[in-house]
Chains A and B, each alone.
Chain A
């Protein structure tokens, strides 16, 4: 019993190390490029989210912003993603299941929830659900300030 739990602990920390190693370079890259650019709202500084804890992107639900809305439509769509109410203030939803996804797709593509300074060439910008995404084959990026965060496919 004791051995088993020790083994499980070792396995999970090994997985963490693997994931951490994969994320670290992009995060480092993002930190270097957090400022500059020059677009955006009226000369205020750009926000940098690269130091935010990964847990903050694992969102299961959000507040709602309006009373008179046909929520039947929303609920059916959104519950499949496990999250969120599509508020004008809410751009967190596509990362909602980051923890679960990361474990399985880490090897094959960019890790959901990781942050990069620029997207690969050949990406197609698409406006979906109020946000602009960069679709790059099977990987989706969402702009965050001057950076991009890898998100689950929004649909």
Chain B
């Protein structure tokens, strides 16, 4: 009995083989999906002033593989090429990042501490530099990188169209990508403004595959003035040292 089913299996494989081969020979990277990424990137880079609010659901994996979810929100006020204000809020910490084109400041309102360093480059450079040198992640830093050479699209190993979906009231094209140790999905609004409305990233480096979900609300006609980018220490604020990230 066992033997017969093995034979049947082998037979089935032999018949299926031509089909399998055809599938693997075809390009796993759908060019239309890649073009959608490029169009979105070009559109993002064309936006001069905008505000976004993002709600993030993240996961952490405990020692035994059990997963816990947490939430955080951020508001970003952006003026290209070199101004950013990011308010990051969670139950554990509130932090504000200010960048006025000359100075980056990280402000911790609860403790009234701030740390500043000079910086004069673009937002794309800023998010990379903050991450590499100081280990500081800017919320939705991809928004500043897509559409620039720092977003290497050639590292994407698989790209596909996954249909359409509504995010809020916006009809979106849904795409799925595989890239190194991450599987990621993006929902891009259809129509003349291809804005990312949702981003899901699965981390395959851990077998529990912790996943982050970011939903993004856009305001393309923000009311803020340039004053929001400039950090003025409030009364009682203390400047503290910021240490570059070190290997251990």
Q: Which residues of the other chain, A, contact B109 by a CB distance below 8 angstroms?
A: 39-41
Q: Are A80 and B241 closer than 8 Å at their CB atoms?
A: no
A96's nearest neighbour on chain B, judged by CB, is B63
Query: Which of the candidate stretches A1-9, A14-22, A26-34, A58-66 sits at the interface with the other chain?
Result: A58-66
The yes or no answer to B119 lying at the interface (CB within 8 A) is no
Known: A40-B94, A63-B203, A63-B210. A87 touches B247 (CB 8 A): no
User: In the complex, how many angstroms separate the beta carbon of A97 from the nearest chain B beta carbon?
Assistant: 9
User: In the complex, how many angstroms separate the beta carbon of A64 from the nearest chain B beta carbon?
Assistant: 5
User: In the complex, how many angstroms separate the beta carbon of A101 from the nearest chain B beta carbon?
Assistant: 13
> Residues 120-155 of chain A: 1 if any B CB is under 8 Å from the residue's CB, otherwise 0?
000001111111100000000001111000000001
The yes or no answer to B248 lying at the interface (CB within 8 A) is yes
The yes or no answer to B81 lying at the interface (CB within 8 A) is no
Contact check: which of A40, A55, A155 meets B63 at CB < 8 Å? Answer: A55
The yes or no answer to B50 lying at the interface (CB within 8 A) is no
Q: Which residues of the other chain, B, contact A76 by a CB distance below 8 angstroms?
A: 247
Interface residues on B, range: 35 or more
Instruction: Kindly state the separation between the CA atoms of A99 and B205 in the bound complex, as whole angstroms.
Output: 22
User: In the complex, how many angstroms separate the beta carbon of A121 from the nearest chain B beta carbon?
Assistant: 15
Most B CB contacts (10 A, CB to CB) among A37, A49, A64, A84 go to A64
The yes or no answer to B167 lying at the interface (CB within 8 A) is no
Instruction: Kindly state the separation between the CA atoms of A23 and B234 in the bound complex, as whole angstroms.
Output: 36
The yes or no answer to B45 lying at the interface (CB within 8 A) is no
Q: Are A145 and B106 closer than 8 Å at their CB atoms?
A: no
Q: Which residues of the other chain, A, contact B90 by a CB distance below 8 angstroms?
A: 89, 91
Q: List which A84-133 residues lie within 8 A (CB) of chain B.
A: 84-92, 99, 125-132
User: In the complex, how many angstroms separate the beta carbon of B57 from the nearest chain A beta carbon?
Assistant: 9
Report which A residues bind B (CB closer than 8 A): 37, 39-41, 47, 49, 55-56, 58-71, 73-74, 76-77, 80-81, 84-92, 99, 125-132, 143-146, 155
Report which B residues bind A (CB closer than 8 A): 56, 58-63, 68, 70-72, 74, 88-95, 106, 108-113, 115, 128, 131-132, 134-142, 145-146, 150-152, 177, 179-182, 184, 199, 201-203, 205-206, 208, 210-212, 214, 238, 240-243, 245-248
Q: Mind listing 5 A-B residue pairs with CB under 8 Å?
A: A59-B62, A62-B58, A65-B137, A80-B248, A143-B111
Further 19 A-B residue pairs, CB within 8 A, beyond A89-B70, A89-B88 = A56-B68, A61-B61, A61-B210, A65-B58, A65-B201, A65-B214, A67-B184, A70-B128, A70-B132, A77-B135, A86-B131, A87-B58, A89-B56, A89-B71, A99-B63, A127-B108, A128-B135, A130-B95, A130-B134
